[in-house]
Structure 1
Amino acid sequence: MRIDDATPSTAGPVLARWSGLPAGATPEQACTAWLEQFGREQPAPLRSLVLLRDTGPELRLAAVQPAGAAVQDLLPLLAQAAASPQAERLQTAAGWLLTQPLRAGEDLRGLAAAEFADAEQAQRAAARMAWGAGWLLALQSARPASQQALAEARGLLQSMAAVVAEGSFDAACLSLANRLAARWKADAVLVSWVDGLRVHIVARSNASHTDERSNVVQAACAAMEEALDLRQSVQGHAGNGFRCEAGSLPAHAAYAEAVPCESVATALLFHETVPVGMVLLQRQEPLSDEDLETLDTQCMMLAPLLAQRREADRSLWQHAAASARHALGRAGDDSLLGWKLGAIAVATAVVVAAVVPVPFRVTAPAMVEGEVQRAIVAPFQGFVQNARLRAGDTVRAGELIATLDDTDLKLDAEKARAELDLAERKEREAVAGGKRVEMRLAAAQAAQARAQLDLAQEKLGRVQLLAPFDGVIVRGDLSQQRGSPVEQGKVLFEVAPLTAWRLILKVDERDIAWVEPHRQGELALAGLAGQHQAFEVKRVTSIASAEGGVNHFRAEADLRDAGASLRPGMEGVAKIECGSASALWVATRRLADWVRLTAWEWLP
């Protein structure tokens, strides 16, 4: 894992403490002092160590904290970190190992490492290690003279602290130019930055403004571009005929003639192995090879700080564009192969889903009802005598379901029969006596009594409530209401046939536009989950009902080949065939409809 996001907020106090480290008599003592100071800061490491390179290519252990701690288990990770040009964060058995290579250009001088309990602590300590490692690098770069090495280290740390303390990128570059001019006794120091394919002069020592249209500035840009093309730090002066190992330096010679000066040196600022800027020194005397190497070291340590300051000053759109460029660059390398393969798989799946058609079906809750439901009502006002059956029982045509009390009806029938006999006797007596008026009156009374008797007998014939056909009782239970009164016309039972069914669908209002008569579909009932029943939509009503905060429209469908196991009131899920569409549209249509509706609602 690469470390690119060190935070400079605490740089000043940390660099001040490191700049005051005592000068060790040996590199081992200096490294031990550095580790002790590093361990005093929070978060404190579990183990820390410094590896230094002497004359050979091997790295040796110069110091370790705590003293005498074993580091053999870290050797494979340290070898991996030494091969990397950047700081690394590697997982260990006890936590995370933070490493910082000590490089002067392409030359590895050493390696600093610290083990922390978790990844967050390692990330917080990344900036502290990167800045403090400059002291070690300067010490290693000028090891023969320890006092001079420590002075170089302090100067470098002070320059780093000054860069971090400035409020903007331009101010940081100007501070760096002034410090480098004082350190190297240069007549002028120019700091430039690479913007795409163009080199832009950012700061000039002891000057608040530079005119890019002037001949001197344009000559300086040409000299820096010359070093950028060679991808190495170069120095041209009269002694070497403005030549280097890579060839002649005509742009440096032109700048030296335009200023004029005797020596022009250009050092590259590398960030993440990419040259991001240059520093040009204008002097009357050339730098020695050791001084040029020290300048390279300083630029290498200062470049990441300037890059972070540059990124901090960018606008939001510039950050977005840089992130996009970085993502595109990472897409073509060999990092994060698992994530890239996963992204390719997801993109392929999305493309396939967008072009491959699949059946489009509307899902709706469904309930089974009988095609015909016959109501059995109370034929007259009375009382419940008994109830043999109740809801859920199957019945045959003519089977007794319940009986009403007939005591009052029998009394009414006997009363009507007695009144009929009396009226008929009176009628006969009036006929015998020739009394026409009395005869007619008696005949009317007899007709009235006969009608009352017929009514009572008819009611007596209806006290038994019988099943109208073979079916099942879907509603009604009088088994616990014996003796209770019932009103005439009250529905006591409902009977549905077992051979004819209809399906009631509750279609979401968001899907009702797709449901039409003659649509086919399948039904899966909760009680018969392993069986699917085919149906055909017959009718879509305009009746809506709210349920669960969603409006549903009622649709009716006929079940085909309904089995004997169906019962009224069964519920399940119905899927209505509505043609075909792409899998992506089927999966996202609800979301797309919601977005369109919300946008229409909020847009003016």
Structure 2
Amino acid sequence: MTAPVHAAAPAVAPKAPEFVGVISSRVSKVITAEFEGSVQNLPIHNGQNVKQGEVVATLDDTELEHKLDQAKGAQASAKGQLARAGAAYSNARRQAAMERRLIRSGAAAPEAFRNAMAQAGQYGADGEAAKGELERANAQIAELQGLLAKANVKSPLDGVIADVKVKEGQLARKGEPIARVFDPDQLIVRFAVPSSNVTLFKLGTNVELVTSDNRVVPASVRSKDDDHDPSIDFTVFEAAIDPNYRIDEIRVGDNGHVRIAGAVR
């Protein structure tokens, strides 16, 4: 008796790999604190549209104002010292000139002239020291006034706020990021691929970002980061969004998973 022949089960295509991706922008800037101070006001939130020059945070400048008062006091003191040293130097030089005339006429000893010249030299040195103090005070005042002008932190470009890092009342240190602002008209898809899958992607490879709310964003690979840290087992790719896709349906920071377009899911 012939054994029944069973049809082979159809091969199941392996599921295409997916990679974590996010909507980003070609043009973005980090907004940082120019000096250390607590955040007094933070009138922004993620996703908010801002204009270039719009205030996005206000830092407490009390300490800077105190330092400015001190610097102005040092400036006034140095000006007074410089004026006094200048007047004393002029008097000593006049005295030396008079002593020289008296020496020539035989009415004074050379020692008096030397003493007057020594005094003039000391007053001249005092004047140079006061001048140095004045220059330092002027430089400090200029620096502090420049920083005070940045207490109102402003957006460097028209764009959309993302990745707000601070809260009102929090201490922001110098150089610390406050937020990032993106140009919403320059949107791209960025995604990270482990080294074992890098060969799947080439320039021009069509991909799709499926966002967390199931929007499918078509894009095409345009570059990869060849300068990444070799100790990190991922390469970041950048893909240009299909120009026919309505970008008003997505925002910077939307995340999801990237797959090769048309791959089995």
Match status 1:535 vs 2:219: yes
Match of 2:134 in 1: 446
Correspondence for 2:45 among 376, 385, 390: 390
**Equivalent position amino acid for 1:534 in 2:** P
How far apart, CA to CA, are the structure 1 residues paired with 2:16 and 2:194?
Answer: 9
Match status 1:565 vs 2:220: no
**How many Å apart are 1:405 and its aligned residue?**
0.7
Q: Deviations over 1:50-77 (max 9, x none)?
A: xxxxxxxxxxxxxxxxxxxxxxxxxxxx
Match status 1:492 vs 2:146: no
How far apart, CA to CA, are the structure 2 residues paired with 1:455 and 1:372?
Answer: 30
Match of 2:108 in 1: none
Distance 1:418 1:573, change over 3 A: closer
Match of 1:327 in 2: 4
Are the counterparts in 2 of residues 416 and 449 from structure 1 also a CA contact under 8 Å? yes
Are the counterparts in 2 of residues 361 and 578 from structure 1 also a CA contact under 8 Å? no
Unpaired runs of 5+ residues, structure 2, are 91-122
How far apart, CA to CA, are the structure 2 residues paired with 1:386 and 1:420?
Answer: 33
How far apart, CA to CA, are the structure 1 residues paired with 2:165 and 2:200?
Answer: 41
**How many Å apart are 1:450 and its aligned residue?**
0.9
Q: Secondary structure at the match of 2:138?
A: helix
**How many Å apart are 1:403 and its aligned residue?**
0.7
How far apart, CA to CA, are the structure 2 residues paired with 1:379 and 1:455?
Answer: 11
Are the counterparts in 2 of residues 362 and 511 from structure 1 also a CA contact under 8 Å? no
Match status 1:458 vs 2:135: no
Match of 1:417 in 2: 72
**How many Å apart are 1:372 and its aligned residue?**
3.5
How far apart, CA to CA, are the structure 2 residues paired with 1:511 and 1:379?
Answer: 42
Are the counterparts in 2 of residues 514 and 578 from structure 1 also a CA contact under 8 Å? no
Q: How does 1:189-588 map to 2 (within 5 A)?
A: 322=1, 325-327=2-4, 362=16, 364-365=18-19, 366-433=21-88, 434=90, 435-479=123-167, 481-482=168-169, 484-507=170-193, 512-527=198-213, 529=215, 532-540=216-224, 554-561=236-243, 563-577=247-261
**Equivalent position amino acid for 1:560 in 2:** D
Are the counterparts in 2 of residues 381 and 485 from structure 1 also a CA contact under 8 Å? yes
Q: Secondary structure at the match of 2:82?
A: helix
- When the two chains are superposed, the root-mean-square deviation of aligned CA atoms in Å is 3.5
**Equivalent position amino acid for 1:559 in 2:** I
**How many Å apart are 1:467 and its aligned residue?**
0.8
Distance 1:364 1:450, change over 3 A: same
How far apart, CA to CA, are the structure 2 residues paired with 1:415 and 1:460?
Answer: 15
The TM-score with structure 1 as length reference comes to 0.33
Q: Secondary structure at the match of 2:252?
A: coil
Q: Deviations over 1:567-586 (max 9, x none)?
A: 1221234442589xxxxxx7
More helix as a share of residues: 1
Are the counterparts in 2 of residues 506 and 555 from structure 1 also a CA contact under 8 Å? yes
**How many Å apart are 1:537 and its aligned residue?**
1.1
**How many Å apart are 1:362 and its aligned residue?**
4.7
Distance 1:552 1:411, change over 3 A: closer
Q: Deviations over 1:331-370 (max 9, x none)?
A: xxxxxxxxxxxx8xx78x96xx9xxxxxx99552432122
Choose 1 or 2 for highest CA Rg: 1
Distance 1:420 1:557, change over 3 A: same
The percent of aligned pairs where both chains have the same amino acid is 22
- Specify which structure has the bigger relative contact order, considering alpha-carbon pairs within 8 angstroms and separated by 6 or more residues: 2
Q: Deviations over 1:424-481 (max 9, x none)?
A: 12222322332422222221121121112112111101111111111222112534x4
How far apart, CA to CA, are the structure 2 residues paired with 1:418 and 1:441?
Answer: 17
**How many Å apart are 1:554 and its aligned residue?**
4.2
Q: Secondary structure at the match of 1:564?
A: helix
Q: Deviations over 1:181-210 (max 9, x none)?
A: xxxxxxxxxxxxxxxxxxxxxxxxxxxxxx
Q: Secondary structure at the match of 2:18?
A: strand
How far apart, CA to CA, are the structure 2 residues paired with 1:575 and 1:418?
Answer: 65
Q: Deviations over 1:539-581 (max 9, x none)?
A: 356879xxxxxx97643312132512321221234442589xx
**How many Å apart are 1:501 and its aligned residue?**
2.1
Q: Secondary structure at the match of 1:379?
A: coil
